[in-house]
Each structure stands twice: as structure tokens, then as C-alpha cells.
Structure 1
Amino acid sequence: MSSPAGAGKTSLSRRLVADYADMVLSISATTRPPRPGEEEGREYYFKTRPEFDAMVAADELFEWAEVNGNCYGTPKAPVLAAMEAGKDVLFDIDWQGAQQVAAKAPSDSVRVFVLPPAWSDLSRRLHARAQDSEEVIVQRLALGQREIAHWSEYDYVIVNKDFDRAYADLIHIYRSERMKPGRNPWLPAFVQGLAEE
């Protein structure tokens, strides 16, 4: 899932993970400092720039990008472990990361873009959070303009005018994509069993 900051992507993704036991949220590594209330390994793995660069050099990241002077990336090991355990992995990432994931796993990825109902809502939400300075909010809004330009590269677009409606739309996307034959490796044996009864 991708969106400009403040559109509700994180709230939607965290609720989906909480409601579906077969879904896990990928935790990104970042070089940005923690915000108040954030914990190591819950919101992010907080890394120094040299630590992050070492992860890139060792090919330990599934995807990564530099945004507003900070690096963000998805460590491979937890994603692969979750997939091997039969879990679906939800990425809360920007358009650059979504492009990289889709290129590496085209048949296994589903991209969802979350839009706000109006641009003014983003500014209001970012100010209401009171987590960032005015300078950072201005940067995040400018980044959001660049992010929105990539909406058409996604498989689905949700306009988050009403959270419950947007969440219902997200559930429909997840459940319908989960039911595709190629995403259910147990299905051929099941069908064969039906045919042999």
C-alpha cells in the first residue's frame, strides 16, 4: 500500500493486519530518527546511515529508497520467513518501493494506492498529529504531490473519504486477490481429490 502522508494508509494497513491472522505487516528499516512513541522493531528498525548502507551492500533489503534525506527499506529475511510460513505480507511503502516489489514479484504482488478526498485533508491531518515541525510537514506535502503522480501504476485505488468504507474496500481487495487460483497452492490437489471421489 502506498499513499501521500496523512491519507490513512498506515491506519488501514494496521487494522487489516489486526483483523487477519494470515497477514503480517512488513517492518521497514529507516535512517530517520524515531518519533515520540515509536519503538524499535514495531514501527521501524532504526538504523544509522552506515548501518543502512551496509544492508544495501549486503543485498539484505527487498526494496529501498531515499526520501527527504532519509533512507527506507524492507529487510528480506522477515519477509521471506513470513512467506515460507504461509503468511501474506503487507508492505506500507512509497511508490518507489512498490515499483521494486512489483518488479521482483510480479505475480505475487498487489498494489493499492490510498488517496485523500481532498488535498486540504492531508495538511489538516499532518498538523493534527503534532509529530512534525512545520518545515517537515511542508516537505511531506511536497513529497505527497510527487507520490500522487504515480497513482495509475497501482492495481487498485481507494479514496479514503470515510475510514470504514475505505477499510471495507480494502478487505474486498484482499479477499478477492486471496481467492485467485495461483495464490492457493493447495487447490490442485484438492480439485484432484474431488475428481477422484
Structure 2
Amino acid sequence: MKNGILFVISAPSGTGKTTILKKVMAQLPGLNFSVSHTTRKPRTGEQHGRDYFFVERETFEQMIAEKQFIEWARVHDNYYGTSIMAVSDRLGEGEDIILDIDVQGATIIRDTETLSAVQIFIAPPGLKVLEERLRGRNTEDEKTVLLRLKNAEMEMKAAKAYDYLVVNDQLEEAVETLMAIIVAERARARRRRTGEPVKMESVR
């Protein structure tokens, strides 16, 4: 059995990454979302074990000490991390994994020799549009909005290090582009659109 494909997805906060991924995963079978650990509080509607593993700071720091993460980072005064067990075992079973992480984590994975990943950056059309989207969410105070905009500017400079760039100007177009990337990578790995292996008959 071939290992699955690890798709690393990064985007500035407010870009629409979560919406895009939900639409892609609803239309393309065989994609599995890797659930990260975080110390931030759940937002309305988020569930432990589905959206994130919500843990206390002490628990997260103990996991760091025990080297249980592939990557971890402190973002917006909260910890985020990807557990080794959450990814490597599932890839070994042939599953294709979507890993939703920030640019710091993506850099760590890019530099590691233990994991191979297809890295995709989702960008907003511009910082002005991003600001409008962040303010339209009404989920953060002014200080947090300004911090996210500052971080977004730095994150977008890192986009050139990724394998692919998807601009979320029109939502459906961004969804189609991301789907095309995934299908192409599956084809390169001799898999069908669904992720199933292509069985080639031998020629005598």
C-alpha cells in the first residue's frame, strides 16, 4: 500500500480557508482533516476533537517537552501544534491528509526529512479586502484585528516558498483551483480523482 499524500494548507486569518476546505472536502472523497491541538478557547460552534483538540497551556507544554508534535507554534498568544500520531499513522495507512497550519509550522515541515508534503498557500486578493472580512466577522476586538492584519502582511511574504498559490477572490473559483491541485497530485501519485490507486495491467 502506498502512503497517503500530506497537503499542508496555510492562509492569513480571515482569508476564507475554512470555508474553502469544507467545500473541497464535501466534493472530493478520500480527504481527511488532521485535527490540531490548541490552547485557544473554542469559538461558537466549534467542538473538541472535531475542529481542534482544545487543551490547557500546561498540557500543551508537557506535550512539547515529550516531543509529541511534528510542529508547533505560538500564534496570537496561543499555542497550535500537530501531533505526530495524528498524521504519520494515517499516512502510512494510505489516507490523504489535509493539514491546516500557519506559515511557521509549514516551514518546519518543509525543512524536516521525515515528512514529504504538498504545500498550498491561500491568499486574499489584498490586505484591504482582508481587513473588511476580519471586521465583518465581528469576532475580535480592534487590537486583535490589527494584530491579525500585521501578521497577514508577514505571512503573505512567505507565500513564495509554497508549491502552489490560490487567491480567494471568488470563492467558487478558489474551491475549483484547490480541487484541481489535489486531483493533479493524486494523478502524479498514480491515483484516481477519488484517491483510489490506479491498477495498471502488465503488458506481455
TM-score by length of 2: 0.86
Give, in angstroms, the shift of residue 185 of structure 1: 10
Seq. identity, % = 33
Structure 1 Cα separation of the partners of residues 196 and 170 of structure 2: 35
Residue 175 of structure 2 corresponds to residue 175 of structure 1: no
Q: Give CA-to-partner distance per residue, 1:66-97, whole Å, 9 cap, x none.
A: 11221100112122232133211111111111
Which one has the bigger helix percentage? 1
Structure 2 Cα separation of the partners of residues 84 and 29 of structure 1: 21
Give, in angstroms, the shift of residue 27 of structure 1: 1.1
- Residues 144, 31 of structure 1: CA spacing in aligned structure 2 closer, same or farther, 3 A cutoff? same
Asked whether the 8 Å contact 1:24–1:82 carries over to 2, the reply is no
Aligned position for 2:17: 9
Structure 2 Cα separation of the partners of residues 57 and 185 of structure 1: 38
TM-score by length of 1: 0.89
Partner residue of 2:53 out of 45, 64, 74: 45
Gaps in structure 1 of 5+ consecutive residues: none
- Aligned pair count reads 193
Asked whether the 8 Å contact 2:124–2:168 carries over to 1, the reply is yes
Gaps in structure 2 of 5+ consecutive residues: 1-8
Amino acid across the alignment from 2:125: P
Amino acid across the alignment from 2:128: S
Structure 1 Cα separation of the partners of residues 188 and 89 of structure 2: 22
- Residues 153, 195 of structure 1: CA spacing in aligned structure 2 closer, same or farther, 3 A cutoff? same
Partner residue of 2:33 out of 25, 33, 52: 25
Asked whether the 8 Å contact 2:127–2:153 carries over to 1, the reply is no
CA RMSD for the aligned pairs? 2.1
- Residues 43, 107 of structure 1: CA spacing in aligned structure 2 closer, same or farther, 3 A cutoff? closer
Asked whether the 8 Å contact 1:25–1:90 carries over to 2, the reply is yes
Give, in angstroms, the shift of residue 182 of structure 1: 7.2
Asked whether the 8 Å contact 1:27–1:74 carries over to 2, the reply is yes
